[in-house]
Amino acid sequence: MALRILRSVNRKKEKPAVVYDYGNAENLTQFCYGRFPLTYSLNFDCLSLSITQENGMHHYKRAIGNWKTESDISVTGGNLLLHPVEPLNLPDNVTDFLEIGFDPVVIEPDGKCVIFVTMPIEIGVFLESGSGSTSMLDIITFVYPKYSLYGSANRGVITRYHKSGVYYHPPAVKNHLSGIIKLEIENRTDEWVTVSRVVIYQKGLYLSFNDNYVAASVSMVIISREVASVTGVESPFDEDMTSALRLYESRKTSAFFNIPGMLSDTTFTMDMGLM
Q: What is the pLDDT of residue 181?
A: 96
Exposed, middle or buried: residue 234 (CB in 10 Å: 0-12, 13-18, 19+)?
exposed
* Cis amide bond preceding 91, omega within 30: yes
23: Cα separation from own chain's centroid: 21
DSSP codes, 45-98:
TTEEEEEEEETTEEEEEEEETTEEEEEEE--SS-EEEEEEE-S--SSS---SEE
Q: What is the pLDDT of residue 245?
A: 93
User: What are the pLDDT digits (tens) for 130-185?
Assistant: 888 899 999 999 988 999 999 887 778 889 999 999 999 999 999 999 999 999 99
Tell me the C-alpha distance between 255 and 137, whole Å. 27
Q: What is the pLDDT of residue 154?
A: 79
Q: What is the pLDDT of residue 178?
A: 94
* pTM assigned to the model: 0.85
Q: What is the pLDDT of residue 90?
A: 86
Whether the Cβ atoms of residue 81 and residue 128 lie closer than 8 Å to each other: yes
Residues of the chain with pLDDT under 50: 1-22, 252, 255
Q: What is the pLDDT of residue 63?
A: 95
Tell me the C-alpha distance between 171 and 213, whole Å. 10
State the DSSP code for 272: S
